Structures are given as structure tokens and as C-alpha cells.
């Protein structure tokens, strides 16, 4: 993989550059190569340390559950030592919850529940209904928000998340359209 990323040339501000390490941002192969690289390092890692109680990875984002903090620290120190390009940050649960990608994972006793996670900078602004875009695209937005909620949320978290889609009223979407699209999409998903 080194050859596929080390000699890549690109231009910026009319100057030519050569990629020294890693993959250029926006490269079509970037996520695939990153996934292969991290998967290879992960394979080496689990020959050194025990797998956590739960372990999920999407490219270079990892969610893991450990017996204790020492196991977590051991995995992190071994992981970082595998390759000079590896630099991981980690976040521990706070108030029994932890965001992972756009999922908020909450722990209660020995069970997990999931819901949609929104960053603190979320404003609720979406494509406005009266913007110069096809109505079909706006209706698809409603369906996409329903689909995301359905795929991410645990049973008890789905209805409150679907209710949050009514934020589209602040973006001047017709209420009857929002509600009928939500109903139709949920019927198709169940």
C-alpha cells in the first residue's frame, strides 16, 4: 500500500506536490485504503491483546467495551505502538452515554440503548421548503430522517426521534406533508 500512497502527485494553488504519507483527503480510494490499513493493524493488535467485550469499527472509528480501564489503556498503548502513523484519541463514557459517529449509545445496567446523536452545534436548519430545489428532494429529506431514526434508535427511542422530525416545520415544510411522509416511510420499513 505504501507505493499506492507515497508517490501520488497533486496540485494546489498552481504548485505540484508529492504525497509523503497517508492518503490525500478526498481521494476516491481514501476510505478503502484506510479501512485496509486499519484492518491490518487491528489483526496484529488482537494477536497481542485480548479482544474487548464488544468491538465495532467503521474505517478508523472504533467503539469498544472493556472490563476495566486498565484493559482499555493496554489496548490503546499497543495500538499506537503498531505503526508510526497511528495516532488515536479516545473518549470515555460520560453520564452512562457515549457518542459514536451519529449514534448516541446509552448504558443502563448491562443493556445498551441507541438514539440519534446531534452535535452541540446542531441548529435544526435543513433545506428550506421554499428554496429553489425540486420538491421531490425535500420529500426525500423527510424520508431519509425517518429511515435514519428507524435504523439507529432502540425501540423506546424511536417515537421521540420521529417527533423531532417536526423541526422541519421551522424550515416551512407543510405539516400534513411531514406527517404523511413519516407515516408512509414507517409503514414501508416495518
Q: Is residue 22 part of a domain?
A: yes
Which residue did the predictor score with more confidence, 75 or 2?
75
CA distance 34 to 46: 18
For residues 83 and 134, state if they share a domain. no
For residues 80 and 147, state if they share a domain. no
pLDDT in tens, 82-137: 888 788 788 888 999 999 989 999 998 878 999 999 988 999 999 999 999 999 99
For residues 11 and 70, state if they share a domain. yes
> What pLDDT is recorded for position 17?
80
Is the C-alpha dihedral spanning 80, 84, 4, 19 positive or negative?
positive
CA distance 89 to 34: 16
CA distance 151 to 115: 9
Q: Is residue 103 part of a domain?
A: no
Q: Which domain holds residue 32?
A: 2-90
> What pLDDT is recorded for position 23?
73
For residues 74 and 142, state if they share a domain. no
For residues 127 and 185, state if they share a domain. yes
Domain-ending residue, one of 90, 113, 142:
90
Q: Is residue 135 part of a domain?
A: yes
Q: Is residue 68 part of a domain?
A: yes
Once rounded to an integer, what is the mean pLDDT over residues 58-84? 88
- Name the strand (E) or helix (H) holding 74: helix 69-81
For residues 125 and 86, state if they share a domain. no
Q: Is residue 57 part of a domain?
A: yes
> What pLDDT is recorded for position 1?
45
Q: Is residue 30 part of a domain?
A: yes
> What pLDDT is recorded for position 182?
96
Note whether 83 and 70 are within 8 A (CB): no
| Number of domains the chain is built from | 2
Amino acid at each position: 500500500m505504501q507505493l499506492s500512497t507515497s508517490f501520488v502527485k497533486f496540485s494546489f494553488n498552481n504548485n505540484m506536490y508529492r504525497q509523503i504519507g497517508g492518503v490525500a483527503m478526498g481521494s476516491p480510494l481514501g476510505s478503502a485504503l484506510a479501512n485496509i490499513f486499519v484492518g491490518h493493524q487491528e489483526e496484529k493488535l488482537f494477536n497481542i491483546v485480548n479482544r474487548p467485550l464488544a468491538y465495532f469499527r467503521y474505517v478508523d472509528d472504533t467503539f469498544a467495551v472493556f472490563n476495566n480501564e486498565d484493559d482499555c489503556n493496554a489496548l490503546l498503548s499497543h495500538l499506537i505502538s503498531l505503526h508510526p502513523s497511528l495516532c488515536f484519541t479516545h473518549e470515555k463514557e460520560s453520564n452512562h452515554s457515549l457518542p459514536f459517529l451519529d449514534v448516541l449509545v446509552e448504558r443502563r445496567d448491562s443493556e445498551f440503548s441507541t438514539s440519534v446523536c446531534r452535535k452541540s452545534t446542531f441548529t435544526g436548519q435543513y433545506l428550506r421548503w421554499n428554496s429553489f430545489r425540486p420538491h421531490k428532494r425535500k420529500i426525500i429529506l423527510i424520508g431519509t430522517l425517518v429511515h435514519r431514526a428507524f435504523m439507529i434508535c432502540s425501540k423506546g427511542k424511536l417515537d421521540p426521534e420521529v417527533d423531532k422530525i417536526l423541526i422541519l416545520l421551522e424550515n416551512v415544510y407543510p405539516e400534513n406533508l411531514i406527517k404523511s411522509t413519516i407515516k408512509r416511510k414507517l409503514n414501508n420499513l416495518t
